[in-house]
Amino acid sequence: MCDCEVEWSVAEDMLVQVRGFQVRYQAVGSHVIQYSRVLSSSTFSHHISRLHENTAYDVCVTVYTHHKVKVILVHTSRRRPPGADHHRC
């Protein structure tokens, strides 16, 4: 098993609108989706543990604002299998 630290940033003028964040991650090719708890608006990183070694993961960070929900970061490992569908948050 291995760990990963996910980090993100938000433009300063947008910080007042942020209510929280949530991290979603999924091993490429798996149907199992993992979610973090909703993180505070002052949190800009999240530690993911117990990941499988030599496995690519799709990781998305969602920002919850007072008006809408937005995906602010999508990371798709470059090791994804050829022809695999793109996973959307």
For the stretch 26-61, pLDDT in tens is: 999 999 999 999 999 999 999 999 999 889 899 999
Task: Give me the phi and psi of 16, to 5 degrees please.
Answer: -65, -20
* CA 17, 74, 22, 1 torsion-angle sign: negative
pLDDT at 67: 80
- CATH number at 2-76: 2.60.40.10
CA distance 79 to 20: 30
Residue 64 tokens, joined: 């919850």
82 or 3, which is more confident? 3
Q: Is this model's pTM higher than 0.85 or not?
A: no
